Structure 1
Amino acid sequence: MMEASKNTDETAEGSLNAEKLLQIGYDRVVADEAIAGGGSTACVAIGKGNGSFQVANLGDSGFAQLRLNAVHYYSNPQTHAFNTPYQLSIIPPKILARSKIFGGQPLSDYPRDASVTDHQVRHGDVLVFATDGVWDNLSSIDVLRIVSRHMTSFRAWHVGEKGLEVSDHIRDLTIEGGIPKEHENTLQTLLAVTITGEAKLASLNTRRDGPFAREVKKFYPSEEYHGGKVDDICAVVALVVEE
């Protein structure tokens, strides 16, 4: 989607926002004749040099803004009903025709239906963007615990005179080779890999009830659903550093 924005007139300073970016990506997919059909949730963000950023979130993917061992913001999923998220869709003509015969209508949402929110970041904030495969198995507090563990162990967050503070050396941890790992050699990469790894383990755990299992119990109290939920798992993590 970011690549699509380069070849449009929408990239003039200040004119491109998160919803427009989502629309550009969606239009490119719809115009691609190689794509016969499908659907996807989406979460895109645009940040500016002054520390402001805007997020367009559609469906049950989402993001969390973490600040010094606290969840500063956590997005709410968009659903039509239980386990029925908003999603951008391309519906093949045959399926549309079949739906009309039986009186149904496939769910199809658009970029304009996304929840658009504006935020301000601070030096040392951690932004976590993830698919529902993460949030169905890990709560925002679970993700905070993972992030805090690594941020404090590498002293990106450390206890100072005023309590928990951002390290003066946090930028060094975000550049290539910033942490002594063979593959995850930046702190933000390590955080993303750890979050996805923990989400996968939770999804396969039949004894630990995650967020999805708790939602099942809320909507269907008689159901004996336990454990995690196997689903697509992806995370992108950004560390905010003031230059």
Structure 2
Amino acid sequence: MHSIYWTGRLISRAIWNGLSNHSTCSDHTITKKRGVSLVSGICGFPKNFTEGRIRRGQFGDDAWFCGKFKALEVIGVADGVGGWRHYGIDPGEFSNFLMRTCERLVSMGKFVPSEPAGLLARSYRELLENKQPILGSSTACVIVLNKETSCIYAANIGDSGFVIVRKGEVVHRSSEQQHYFNTPFQLSLPPPGHSNLVLSDSPESADTSTFGVENGDVILLATDGVFDNVPDQLLITEMCKIEGERDPTKIQSVANTIAWMARSFAFDGNFLSPFAQSARENGIDAIGGKPDDITVLLATVAI
């Protein structure tokens, strides 16, 4: 009974963490006269409810941010590489620093809207120059919406990413970057003397894309805890439910559904998850989901 009680409280906190951030990510009633805006919902869960952090901007080792500057809206996610925990390093500190720095840079206008990889690069550079070393690794994905041109600029490094649905079809999505199976591209700062033993990719190696958005488009930005556990068709089905939706409560409800679906599949030992399918394609006999931190940023484009 005790564990059920605390699990219920933690689930409520995770969902409330999303509910309390409507105004952070979108302000449709104020910005609609200027053209395009995002109406958003956020939800997520740490892999370990009893030990994982749930606070604004973080779900376990995942981190996220939403920012605005003039006619620009920016959203991003980062996934700290959990393997560092075996070396006594908190993986969530690296990803959180990246996202908090991106958020600050956006609020100050210190970025080029058409170069989201540059925003990641500047954040990463600040991390490397920090007086107190922040060791670890992280994947990252950032999307910039220019509301004056209805244009999106995206940068993705690793296996977090985004999907855009329009009229029931996927019209844009990020490309997963892997060195080899289950080893994504990542930004890193290893301990002294370990540089040759740790994968470290440059922000400039991020996969970038530019495309226009239309009224009603649905944007899903998420960490691999979602994509590894929820089949594409299920994601698309949920996203289609809010095409053209401007009610943040309804968008939040679908964000909650996607996050909880990912959480449920992650711990289902009999489910043939996308991760298990990929493992089989790489010669590994696997079944079940992949337990992981989960972060969902879901938004509709309102014009």
TM exceeding 0.5 = yes
Query: In 1, Cα distance between the equivalents of 2:166 and 2:109?
Result: 35
1:139 to 231, 235, 238: 231
1:202 aligns with 2:265: yes
Percent of residue pairs identical: 31
1:31 aligns with 2:101: no
1:57 aligns with 2:118: no
Q: Which residues of structure 2 form unaligned runs of 5+?
A: 1-101
Query: In 1, Cα distance between the equivalents of 2:207 and 2:234?
Result: 24
1:95 to 186, 194, 197: 194
TM-score, normalised via structure 2 length: 0.62
Query: In 1, Cα distance between the equivalents of 2:266 and 2:167?
Result: 27
Find the counterpart in structure 2 of residue 181 from structure 1: none
Find the counterpart in structure 1 of residue 169 from structure 2: 70
Find the counterpart in structure 1 of residue 139 from structure 2: 41
Cα pair 2:140 2:157 within 8 Å, conserved: yes
Query: In 1, Cα distance between the equivalents of 2:300 and 2:122?
Result: 26
SS of structure 2 residue aligned to 1:226: coil
Query: In 2, Cα distance between the equivalents of 1:211 and 1:30?
Result: 34
Q: Equivalent residues in 2 for 1:1-243 (5 A)?
A: 1-7=102-108, 9-10=110-111, 17-49=115-147, 50-96=149-195, 99=196, 105-148=197-240, 150-151=241-242, 157=243, 166=244, 170-171=245-246, 173-174=247-248, 186-220=249-283, 223-242=284-303
Cα pair 2:271 2:287 within 8 Å, conserved: yes
SS of structure 2 residue aligned to 1:207: coil
Find the counterpart in structure 2 of residue 162 from structure 1: none
Distance 1:94 1:5, change over 3 A: same
Cα pair 1:196 1:234 within 8 Å, conserved: yes
Q: Give, as a single letter, the amino acid of the residue that structure 1 aligns with 2:142.
A: V
- How much does 1:9 deviate? 4.9
Find the counterpart in structure 2 of residue 160 from structure 1: none
Query: In 1, Cα distance between the equivalents of 2:257 and 2:110?
Result: 38
Cα pair 1:4 1:28 within 8 Å, conserved: no
Q: Give, as a single letter, the amino acid of the residue that structure 1 aligns with 2:139.
A: T
Cα pair 2:105 2:111 within 8 Å, conserved: no
- How much does 1:211 deviate? 0.8
Distance 1:36 1:48, change over 3 A: closer
Query: In 2, Cα distance between the equivalents of 1:43 and 1:207?
Result: 30
Rg comparison, structure with higher value: 1
SS of structure 2 residue aligned to 1:238: strand
Cα displacement string for residues 25-65 of structure 1 (whole angstroms, at most 9, x for unaligned residues):
21222223334310000000111112100100000001000
Bigger shift: residues 119-128 or 191-200: 191-200
Query: In 2, Cα distance between the equivalents of 1:9 and 1:229?
Result: 37
Query: In 1, Cα distance between the equivalents of 2:154 and 2:111?
Result: 17
Q: For CA contacts below 8 A with separation 6 or more, give which structure has more relative contact order.
A: 2
Bigger shift: residues 115-124 or 32-41: 32-41
Bigger shift: residues 18-27 or 121-130: 18-27
Query: In 2, Cα distance between the equivalents of 1:216 and 1:124?
Result: 35
- How much does 1:93 deviate? 0.6
SS of structure 1 residue aligned to 2:155: strand
RMSD (Å) for aligned C-alpha atoms: 1.8
Report the structure, 1 or 2, having the larger strand content.
2
Q: Give, as a single letter, the amino acid of the residue that structure 2 aligns with 1:66.
A: V
